Amino acid sequence: MVGARADAHYDSAIDVSSSPDALEAAAVLAHRPLLRTLEEKAQPTHTALLVIDVQNDFCAAGGMMDREGQDLRDVQEMAAALPRLIDAARAAGVLVVFVRNVYSTAENHYLSDVWLEQASRRRSGSYTVWPVCEAGSWEGDFYSVRPLPEEPVITKHRFSAFHNTDLETVLRAHSIRSVVLSGVATNVCVETTAREAFVRDYYVIFLSDGTATYDRAGHETTLSSIDRFFGQVATIEDVVTCWSTVARGQDSAVSPPELAPSPSAS
């Protein structure tokens, strides 16, 4: 599994105790308390899980990436792990936000000359000969995951989930400070969204095994870049553990007290 290797590689990089002086200095400079640990960053009251572009065109046999001859094994393995992550988020009260692409339309509302020229050179007919993620199509539908009726769905037309969308309005309305990023592709839409989240002052938690792309080197390069400049790399298990503790606490808080035994009849 891609994430298993990445987890081992990044353990030391995310140990904030290795530089306590810098951390304390940061705390003094900051205008509000730092979120120092993964548990603090992933606190459900201020965290959103972004599920990015888990659509048939990018994940399924018969979709765009399959038609281009890409290896889908890592993407499909990652997608199979997402329901557990999403269930844990929902149980803990984390805001779950689904992000999807709509690229192609009959009238071509969204694809610029720049986009189409790039696609014509590098994408084996995708976007030009073949439509990609048309609204209402099987190709644009979600793969292995699906939002609940009350969960926000952000539609985008470029790599970043923030670019000309209402994602930030949704996050600010829910007082979100941290975003957990999952989905495809690690080194394209997920990475672009992570970079923009960081420069918009969100804590970024980037899942090493909750994201995937079509070549291992590209995946690993993005994890290294995110860890160095834009956020904290973690695993699904790391985050689910944080959320499961909260969910168990919520369950115990709402459990009815045990009834005292009835007094014996006289």
pLDDT tens digit sequence for 106-144: 999 999 999 999 999 999 899 999 999 999 999 999 999
* Residue 16 burial (C-beta neighbours within 10 Å; 0-12, 13-18, 19+): middle
Long-range contacts at 149-152 (CB < 8 A, ≥ 24 apart)? 151/96, 151/97, 151/98, 152/95, 152/97, 152/98
Name the phi and psi angles at 183, rounded to 5.
Answer: 120, -155
In angstroms, the CA 107 to CA 105 distance is 5
CA-nearest of 16, 40, 182 to 97 is 182
In angstroms, the CA 45 to CA 42 distance is 9
Would the pTM of this model clear 0.85, i.e. be above it?
A: yes
Question: Six-digit token pair at 245?
Answer: 């503790």
Query: Average of pLDDT values for 192-208?
Result: 98
Per-residue pLDDT, 20: 80
- For domain 37-101+143-249, give the CATH number: 3.40.50.850
Q: Which residues of 38-51 are buried (b: 16+ CB within 10 A; e: fewer)?
A: beebbbbebbbbbb
Q: Is 221 helix (H, G, I), strand (E, B) or coil?
A: helix
Percentage of the chain exceeding pLDDT 90:
84
The tens digit of pLDDT for each residue in 10-66 reads 554 445 445 789 999 999 999 999 999 999 999 999 999 999 999 999 999 999 999
In angstroms, the CA 68 to CA 217 distance is 19
**Reported confidence tier of residue 266, pLDDT bands at 50, 70, 90:** very low
Q: How far is CA 118 from the centre of its chain?
A: 26
- Contact yes or no for 103/133 (Cβ under 8 A): yes
Per-residue pLDDT, 13: 45
The residue ranges of every structural domain in the chain are 37-101+143-249
